[in-house]
Amino acid sequence: MNPTFKKIFLILLLLPFVTVAMAQKKKAATQELTIPMEPAYWQYDSSGIDFIMNRNVKAIHIKGPSPLVPKNLQFSNGTIEYDVELGYGFPGITFHQSEDGKKGDQFYLRYFGTTSPESRTTLQYAAIIDGMSMWDMTDEYQAGTTLNIPGWNHVKLVVSGKQMKAFVNNMDRPAMLVPYLEGNIEKGGISFSGGEVTIANLVIKPDVVEDLAPGPGYIPTYNDTRYLRHWQVSETSDFAYGKEILPTLPYMGGTRARATLPDSTTKWTPIAAEVRDLVNLTRIFGGVKNNNRRLVWLKTTIESDKEQERILHLGFSDEIWLFVNGQILYTDKNHFGSPGQKFPAGRCTIENTQVKLPLKKGRNEILIGLANYFYGWGIIARLDDTDGIHLPK
């Protein structure tokens, strides 16, 4: 073959591949969005925002809780990168945010004067449901990392379907993995808020998800048959501060004492535990309004092949009254920040408490009264063993 003809032939053969590669490179370049740190590109409350130069970089200083929102930006999947210098508080970013700000997914850092990579509360992911952050119901979504104090911290979030990887400073190893984003929507706006903080260099890369699959990741509780996953839930009722559930006690009149317990008129609706086996009442009933206290009832059954005693591992928020076969067995409070808050730090986790369940042979009714006044609302319940036990499916 003539050498010149051979070269021409090879060029023609490779041309489609070169064209595709160039088109893909051009497409990737046009997808990257750099949001200038200038007033025209943002929605904000001028009393809480300053546009400044920080360490020779154009930046925005957030002085309070008012949100800072990039204009005309909708985000679903992809990569979000920005730099943040911490002041004080828990500055964060909300993505997939609804127009009214009541739904979304939030990632934030905590800094109150000290920090260490061993502190598991340095980073947090939480869903926003009805304007309520679910931070106290998502203890699993916390992590530690090394922060630069003072100085810039580079944050990169990779979001793909239900999963997220969060990098902070170290871009080789994620500081946090979230296998299942728990917000109610999968596309929405972006906002920054949460304390004194300076941000810069915001870059959005739509649909750039690296190797992160869009389906849910591994959920540790999925294979565990000991969780009580299926319940019936009542309607909510107002429950004034200071009011208590009055169970029937020896030598007390049963009629007056049982006035607050469910009866034949109570309406029940099935409710199933969510992905982490949390019975999430906030998802159904929304956030607490005006710091009011409210009450709901949950019930389920445990079938036992014999009379036996089992240990119930129980997480709850905020106050609980537990009955077994009509008898009061346990009552407690898990008020964040109070001396009696449950480990860890007043959050709802399976580590909150353990209760011995006296089960008779046959059907056993588990009834729980649950009060709420502060952030998330729900329970997590798991038996120590299911030998000779049958749970609702």
The answer to whether residue 185 is domain-embedded is yes
Q: Quick one: 290 and 356 in the same domain?
A: yes
The answer to whether residue 3 is domain-embedded is no
Q: Quick one: 181 and 108 in the same domain?
A: yes
The answer to whether residue 147 is domain-embedded is yes
Q: From residue 42, give the alpha-carbon distance in Å to each of 45, 95, 137, 156, 194.
A: 10, 15, 32, 20, 17
Q: For residues 326, 331, 335 and 336, what is the CA-based torsion angle, rounded to 10 degrees? A: -100
**What is the model's pLDDT at position 260?**
73
Instruction: Give the three-state DSSP class for 377.
Output: coil
**What is the model's pLDDT at position 249?**
63
Token pair, residue 241, equals: 């501060």
**What is the model's pLDDT at position 111?**
85
Q: Quick one: 199 and 70 in the same domain?
A: yes
Among residues 234, 273, 292, which one has the least CA distance to residue 378?
273
The answer to whether residue 215 is domain-embedded is no
**What is the model's pLDDT at position 373?**
94
Q: Which range marks the domain in which residue 82 is found?
A: 31-206
User: What is the CATH classification number for the domain harbouring 346?
Assistant: 2.60.120.260
Max Cα separation, the chain? Answer: 110
User: What is the CATH classification number for the domain harbouring 60?
Assistant: 2.60.120.560
The answer to whether residue 299 is domain-embedded is yes
Distance CA 61, CA 53 (A): 9
Q: Quick one: 180 and 256 in the same domain?
A: no
**What is the model's pLDDT at position 291?**
83
Q: Tokens 């917000």 identify what position?
A: 183
Q: Quick one: 176 and 266 in the same domain?
A: no
Instruction: Give the three-state DSSP class for 130.
Output: coil
**What is the model's pLDDT at position 3?**
53
This prediction has a pTM of: 0.88
The answer to whether residue 222 is domain-embedded is no
Rg value, the chain, Cα: 26
Q: Quick one: 185 and 235 in the same domain?
A: no
Q: Quick one: 179 and 55 in the same domain?
A: yes
Q: Quick one: 332 and 185 in the same domain?
A: no
Distance CA 278, CA 77 (A): 26
Q: Which residues contact 74 (CB under 8 A, 6 or more apart)?
A: 187, 188, 189
Q: Quick one: 201 and 55 in the same domain?
A: yes
Q: Quick one: 240 and 187 in the same domain?
A: no
Domain end, chosen from 206, 238, 273, is at 206
Based on the structure, what is the number of domains in the chain? 2
- Is the Cβ–Cβ distance between 244 and 332 less than 8 Å? no
The answer to whether residue 18 is domain-embedded is no
Measured CA angle at 181 (ends 176, 186), to 5 deg: 130
Q: Quick one: 202 and 279 in the same domain?
A: no
- Is the Cβ–Cβ distance between 93 and 79 less than 8 Å? no
The answer to whether residue 225 is domain-embedded is no
H helices of the chain, in order, are 3-31, 254-257, 281-285
Q: Quick one: 384 and 266 in the same domain?
A: yes
Q: In tens digits, what is the pLDDT along the chain, a chain of 393 residues?
A: 555 555 544 444 444 444 444 444 444 444 899 999 999 999 999 999 999 999 999 999 998 788 999 999 999 999 999 999 998 888 899 999 999 999 999 999 998 777 888 888 899 999 999 999 999 999 999 999 999 999 999 999 999 999 999 999 999 999 999 999 999 999 999 999 988 899 999 999 999 999 999 999 999 999 999 999 999 999 999 999 988 887 666 665 555 445 578 999 999 999 999 999 999 999 999 998 888 999 999 999 999 999 999 999 999 999 999 999 999 999 999 999 999 999 999 999 999 999 999 999 999 999 999 999 999 999 999 999 999 999 999
